[in-house]
Structures are given as C-alpha cells and as structure tokens.
Amino acid sequence: MRIIPLLLILFILTSCKKEAIIKPVTIPNLNSDTNTFSFEKPVGFPNPFYNFSNNPLTQKGFELGRFLFYDPILSLDSSVSCNTCHAQQHGFSDHNVPLSKGIFGFSSTRNAPALINLAWSTSFMWDGGVNHIEVQPLVPLTSEHELGETMANLVEKLNKNVFYKKKFKEAFGVETITDQKLLHALAQFTSMLISSNAKYDQVMAGKTNFTPQEQQGYELFKIKCANCHTEPLFTDYSYRNSGLESKFKDIGREKVTQDPADRGKFKVPTLRNIEFTYPYMHDGRLFNLEQVLAFKSNGIQDSPTLDISLKNGLNLSKDEQKAIIVFLKTLSDNTFISNPKYAEPVNQQ
C-alpha cells in the first residue's frame, strides 16, 4: 500500500491545477476598519522602515496610542506622561530644558529628541540601543528616571481601568490588555507623527521659491551638512562623532556596541522643525541655532573617532552661518506642530 502519498500529491496537484510547487498561502491582514485611515508616504520620501506588518494600523489603534501618549497613568505615581518630555509645540521634543524631568523630578541623562518621521528610523535613541519602534517605549516606561513603572504592574493597572479596557477592545478586539497591545498602540501613534509640509517641501514641490538668502543657505547646506543630515528626512540615520567633545562624558554608541571605534558617536538627528526643538545636541548643551552654527563652524573638537568629513572643520563665515540658519527655518512645519490629530485628546475618562 503505497497509494496515499500519491493520493496526497494528486490532491495537492489537482487542487492547484498545474503548479508543481505550491507556495505557502499568505493570509492578508484583514483590517476591521476599512475606512480611509492609512499611512501616507509623503511625495519624495523613501519607503518607511516600519510597515505595520504585525500591527495593522487603524483609526482606533492610533487614537488609543494618542490617549496613552498623553496619559500619566503610564507612570508610577501618575505624574508624568510621554508628553511631559515630548511636547507637540516643540516638535515632540522636551519643553526647552536640556535634561527632561521624570517622576519625582529625577533628571533623565540625555535631551529628549524630537519625535518626527520615526517610521523611517531603523534604530532609536541617541545611541541606537533600541532596534524597533514598538519596543522603544519600554525604555521610558521602565526607566526609574522617567516613568518608573514595571511592565507587569502597568499591564495590571491598565486592566483595572474601565476606560482602557473598552479602548483596547475597540482597537484590537482583546478582552485582556497585554504589553504587546500597549506597545502596538503607542507605535501606531508615534509612527504616524509625520512632518512633510514645511516651506522646504513646498519649494521642492515647485509651489513656492526660496528667498535668495534661503537659497544661499540651502546651497551651503548641501555641501557642508547633507552628507549627514541627508534630504528629505534630514538625517541618514547613522551614528557619528560630530566633534562636540574630545573627552567624552557620555560615550554614546560605544555603550551599546562596546566597540571603542564608536566612542562619542550619536544618532544624526533630523533637522525638520529644528527651530522648535531647542536646546540642541544629545545633552541639550546648545541653546540656539547661532550657537550650533558657531560650534559647527569652528568649535569642532578632534578625537580618534571624529567623523572624517569634519577633520578640517566646516569653516563657515558669519554670513554663511546666518544663511544656513535662515534655510534651516524653512524646515519648520506649522501644520505639524499644530495638527489637531496629534494634540492632547479631550479627556473622556
């Protein structure tokens, strides 16, 4: 009796007509909201890195993420929310303090970066220690200087909250809130923080023109800055030592890779909305763009890991510095920092 294997194969073959090799079926992610809510890639942007493959984007999921982002329930003593350190009017960076304060007024060790176009980012934090947007919130949630929670405690707390029980059920169809769904909801919000409507974008789309000084700044920018702050996202998502210091108080990326070749390297930050995200640098040491440009022009400190493109300094005259600052302000996107879709939701609790 050696029929069945044949029967089996026959069955397989007959059910799939002539294809000898039957490929695994991919089941499409059936999304309950079939409304128009979707991730829209701005014209001219590359494909995003985060593609929601395990976390189908829905209006309800995004709204839930927004509630959570603004809710101090996520912190140990209900005093701090994500928004405490990531404020919309500052491009979702801190409220103009070098080191943001978490629970009990503890200081975080670095400056809270702007949260802009994160779906394109391949790794997170100034040192790139976090490898995925969904797991990024674990750092602030469980850091004793920030929200100070444990994930087990947080999930238990949310499961006792009638409002969130209902919201998670609506968004994900679950009776019990898990850490995974909490992280999925936050990722739906943070990955949708898209800024692509600055004057720069209008100029690129041919809808308006730069002033002569903006144009001069743009030309200089392309030569002096764009190898790191690459258009259109104004970062190449690499880690570089930009010469802030030569004796490192914070070793940056080396902390993560344990490789001395990474000493003093930090993520190249986006420059979109840079006008609103002061103070600047990983430790918030520079308070305005004039200081940043003065530093980039002639304050660069040499060290073995200093980026090769900065070895001879950038040597910008005062006028050139001014022109670059004027250009940088064309990256300000008022529709982003005032978009009601991203604003603190009206509390329905």
Partner 1 sequence: MKKILVAASMFMSLVYQVSYGQTYMKIHRNNGSTLEIPVNTIDSVTYSTISSNLVNSKGNISIDLSHKFGMMNEQTLAIGKPVVHPMKGDTMTFSKFKYFISNVKFKNADGMYWTEGESYHLVDLAKPESLNLSFKDLPAGTYTQMEYTIGVDSARNVSGAQTGALSTTNDMYWSWKSGYIMLKAEGTYKDNNADKMFAFHLGGFSGANNIVTKRTMVFEGATALTVTKDQTSTVGVEVNPGLLWHSAPSVKEVNMIHMPGAAAKLMALGDSGMGFFANPMYSFQVKSVK
Q: Which residues bind partner 1 (CB under 8 A)?
A: 1-5, 7-12, 15, 20-25, 54-55, 125, 129-135, 138-139, 141-143, 150-152, 155, 178-180, 183-184, 187, 256, 258
Q: What is the dihedral of CA 41, 42, 47, 48, to 10 degrees?
A: -70
In the bound state with partner 1, the residue whose beta carbon lies nearer, of 184 and 229, is: 184
Q: Pick out residues in 291-310 that bind ligand HEC (CB under 6 A).
A: 292, 296, 307, 309-310
Burial class (CB in 10 A: 0-12, 13-18, 19+), 42: middle
Distance separating alpha carbons of residues 277 and 97, to the nearest angstrom = 10
DSSP string for residues in 8-50: HHHHHHHHTTT-SSPPPPPPP---S--SS----PPTT----S-
Burial class (CB in 10 A: 0-12, 13-18, 19+), 238: middle
Q: Which does 12 bind (CB under 5 to 8 A by kind): partner 1, ligand HEC, none?
A: partner 1
Residue 323 as a binder of ligand HEC (CB under 6 A): the answer is no
Residue 73 as a binder of ligand HEC (CB under 6 A): the answer is no
Q: Which does 223 bind (CB under 5 to 8 A by kind): ligand HEC, partner 1, none?
A: none
Q: Which of 55, 58, 84, 305 binds ligand HEC (CB under 6 A)?
A: 84
Nearest distance, CB of residue 162 and partner 1, angstroms: 21
Residue 66 as a binder of ligand HEC (CB under 6 A): the answer is no
Burial class (CB in 10 A: 0-12, 13-18, 19+), 340: exposed
CA-closest candidate to residue 306, choices 334, 265, 340: 265
Q: Is 94 helix (H, G, I), strand (E, B) or coil?
A: coil
In the bound state with ligand HEC, the residue whose beta carbon lies nearer, of 22 and 341, is: 341
Q: Which of 228, 233, 256, 326 binds ligand HEC (CB under 6 A)?
A: 228
Q: Which of 240, 253, 272, 326 binds ligand HEC (CB under 6 A)?
A: 240
